[in-house]
Amino acid sequence: METRTITIRVNAEVARIFEAASEEQRRKLEALISLRLGDATRSKKSLEEIMSEISRNAQARGLTSEIFVGAGD
């Protein structure tokens, strides 16, 4: 699959966490973002509904902001 680089704006904390992540973690996050952006653009749901769903799913899987904050330590 061909990939391209894009620039997106995120809040400062998210940027810091991403920048502090290992290369493997970054690749996984990039793949996740790519999949979710694809879903969001093809979905009939609003962006807010999709974001809420992502948050609920992440929390149900035990992913919290504390986990990512600790990833850079």
pLDDT of 3-38, one tens digit each? 899 999 988 998 999 999 999 999 999 998 888 888
Residue 20 pLDDT: 94
Global confidence as pTM: 0.57
**Per-residue exposure over 1-40, b if at least 16 CB sit within 10 Å of its own CB, e if not:** eeeeeeeeeeeeeeeebbeebeeeeeeebeeeeeeeeeee
The token pair that represents 12 in the structure block: 């400062």
Is 90 exceeded by the pLDDT of residue 59? no
Is 60 exceeded by the pLDDT of residue 68? no
Alpha-carbon 9 to chain mean position: 12
Residue range 41-53: mean pLDDT, rounded: 79
Stronger pLDDT, 35 or 71, i.e. the higher one: 35
